[in-house]
């Protein structure tokens, strides 16, 4: 397996504020990090792929100016939800890539925007 | 559009029975296949990966792959109530480690 941490695990914020989520790969260096979002009773939706030192690649329909991703080191990636709105309330999960194609998931961050 | 299909369930089996979870995929060129388990409110955890046709066993879990039929399954022997979760099938792509996930099958093991 792999050890991945996310912080915070749960956050409640007011509409219009920004929220930063940190994802750390604790036992291996992750060149590539995937960020997912999951709404209740739905499957994982890939939001973006980030490579260390490069700009993230966003999936179709995901606003890059709203979901800022920084992958400055091989062990840390951050997702910032800017000007959050209630429709951004979701479960956000990071997933570092180990090797060529094995993904391990962080514990997730549950965001509630009031 | 590459797709991965799973029955959403719920699949209900009695404790001690074999649970069979199925997954089909559309891209005939797919080479890697993964099963994840996701408990309610938690993130997915990797159960097994399989790359070659045939069976791969790990404890009570057996993954089966048939590339000709574009079909991958997960068998859980001696099912336990603690196995109750949603099981996600994922298929690898040739795009830098990206996975395509199925919708997940909800499994309920009744005591």
Spatial CA neighbour of A101 closest among B64, B99, B87:
B99
pLDDT of residue A63: 94
Is residue B51 a contact partner of residue B31, using CB atoms and an 8 Å limit?
yes
Cβ pair B44:A100 closer than 8 A: no
Task: Give the pLDDT band (50/70/90) at residue B56.
Answer: very high
pLDDT of residue B60: 97
Cβ pair B46:A104 closer than 8 A: yes
B15 in helix, strand or coil?
Answer: coil
**For residue B32, what are the contacts with CB-CB under 8 A and spacing of at least 6?**
A101, B49, B50, B51, B91, B92
pLDDT of residue A112: 97
Q: Is B99 on the interface with A (CB under 8 A)?
A: yes
Averages of pLDDT over runs of 10 residues in chain A (114 residues) are 91 97 91 93 91 90 94 91 97 90 90 97
Query: CA-nearest residue of chain B to A5?
Result: B43
Query: CA-nearest residue of chain B to A30?
Result: B97
Spatial CA neighbour of A96 closest among A51, A33, A50:
A33
Mean pLDDT of all residues in B31-38: 95
pLDDT of residue B8: 82
pLDDT of residue B84: 97
Task: Give the pLDDT band (50/70/90) at residue B80.
Answer: very high
Mean of pLDDT over chain B: 94
Percentage of chain B exceeding pLDDT 90: 89
Q: Is B29 on the interface with A (CB under 8 A)?
A: no
Residues from chain B that touch A49, judged by Cβ atoms under 8 A, are 96, 98
Cβ pair A100:B49 closer than 8 A: no
pLDDT of residue B73: 97
Judge whether residue B108 has pLDDT over 90: yes
DSSP state of A59: P
Cβ pair A97:B34 closer than 8 A: no
Task: Give the pLDDT band (50/70/90) at residue B1.
Answer: confident
């Amino acid at each position: 397996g792999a050890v991945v941490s996310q912080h915070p695990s749960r956050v409640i914020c007011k509409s219009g504020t920004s929220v930063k989520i940190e994802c750390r790969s604790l036992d291996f260096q992750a060149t590539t990090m995937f960020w997912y979002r999951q709404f209740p009773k739905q499957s994982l939706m890939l939001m973006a792929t980030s490579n260390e030192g490069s700009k993230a690649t966003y999936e179709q329909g995901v606003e890059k100016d709203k979901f800022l991703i920084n992958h400055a080191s091989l062990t840390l990636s951050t997702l910032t939800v800017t000007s959050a709105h209630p429709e951004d309330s979701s479960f956000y999960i990071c997933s570092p890539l180990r090797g060529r194609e094995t993904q391990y998931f962080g514990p997730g961050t549950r965001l509630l925007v009031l | 559009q590459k797709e991965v299909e799973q029955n959403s369930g719920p699949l209900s089996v009695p404790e001690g029975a074999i649970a069979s979870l199925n997954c089909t995929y559309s891209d005939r060129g797919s080479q890697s296949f993964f099963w994840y388990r996701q408990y309610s409110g938690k993130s997915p955890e990797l159960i097994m990966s399989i790359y070659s046709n045939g069976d791969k066993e790990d404890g009570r879990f057996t993954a089966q792959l048939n590339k000709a039929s574009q079909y991958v399954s997960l068998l859980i022997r001696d099912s336990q109530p603690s196995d109750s979760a949603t099981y996600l099938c994922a298929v690898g792509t040739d795009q830098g480690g990206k996975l395509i996930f199925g919708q997940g099958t909800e499994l309920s093991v009744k005591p």
